[in-house]
Amino acid sequence: MTTAQSFTRHDITFPSGDSTCAGWLYLPAGVTSAPVVILGHGLGAVREMRLDAFAERFAQAGIAAVAFTYRHFGDSGGHPRQLLSIKRQLTDWDAAIAYVKARTDVDRTRMAVWGSSFGGGHAITVASRHPELRAAIAQCPFTDGLASALALGPAASLKVLPVVARDLAARGRGKPPVMVPIAATPGSSALMNASDALPGYQALQPPGTTFRNEVAARVIPTILTYRPGRAAKKITIPILFCVSDTDSVTPPAQTLRYARTAPKGEIKRYDAGHFDFYTGETFEVLVRDQIEFLTRQLNPAAAASAA
């Protein structure tokens, strides 16, 4: 357990599918039954890659936080390793919500979800499926696989197809997965090869991180057909979209079109790149906006008053 001035951090695990997810639970100090927000990351990323920075700020504002790592990555369970399955990750979100609902030290009636990048797309999907939530935040969200593939470029997309074929063949023979890099230099075969992708991922990694810059290539066809933005119109709770106007990974024009269909959607736009959201002055502006939104929707002052 890590203790800070205004919160405590606890290591947690919770069951999901055939294995477990590892995470951190942040509890505001001196607060009884605080509202809670659940945080999930992007493509292949683990919670050590700056989810803690957001969770700490939320806890300091009186909002409990659960930051978790998907199965098959980091210190969570699941085999084979580095398997990115959209269906399994959405199950992990459901499991995280179930875990929070089973706790007695937070207010289970005031829950929110927060997702970034690919996790931002998941947050949209999850918010559309869980009307009992009070709020959601989708940060630089992946909203449309086809739009992201077009941003990557047809030549780059075609480069990965032989790797996908080899991985699918390996799965059929019961062999270990064939990997593809998550982020690489421009022109390389990878899920992301924009100029800021590889340095962006590297900048998020603390010393000793468990992040591996690769995933099983079989996920690529499912990414292309995943369009979580379409679920925005079904979301009945307030949702904040934090959009990068210069996003090289999740094209902002398509994201904004989807965001405007959310009945209770709010949109904040930032003149900063996809990977700038996690550090520096952009992070400071972003987290202030998110705390303001969560405070309005979750009313953490009510928990403090009760305490």
Q: What is the pTM of this model?
A: 0.94
* pLDDT tens-digit readout, 193-244: 889 999 999 999 998 887 899 999 999 999 999 999 999 999 999 999 999 9
User: What single letter denotes the amino acid at residue 279?
Assistant: T
* pLDDT tens-digit readout, 17-29: 999 999 999 999 9
Secondary structure E strands in the chain? 2-3, 7-16, 19-28, 34-40, 64-68, 106-116, 135-139, 179-180, 215-216, 239-244, 265-270
Side-chain-side CA neighbours of residue 288 (13 Å):
7
> What is the reported pLDDT for 170?
93
- Are the beta carbons of 60 and 27 closer than 8 angstroms? no
Residues 6 or more apart whose CB falls under 8 angstroms from that of 276 comprise 244, 270, 282, 283
* pLDDT tens-digit readout, 119-134: 999 999 999 999 999 9
- CATH placement of domain 5-151+227-296: 3.40.50.1820
> What is the reported pLDDT for 305?
53
| Domain layout of the chain by residue ranges | 5-151+227-296
> What is the reported pLDDT for 4?
45
Q: How far apart are CA 66 and CA 24, in angstroms?
A: 6
**78: alpha, beta or left? (left if phi > 0; alpha if psi -120 to 50):** left
| Banded pLDDT at 302 (limits 50, 70, 90) | low
Q: How far apart are CA 57 and CA 9, in angstroms?
A: 12
Give the mean pLDDT of 248-275: 96
| Banded pLDDT at 154 (limits 50, 70, 90) | low
Flag whether pLDDT at 152 surpasses 70: no
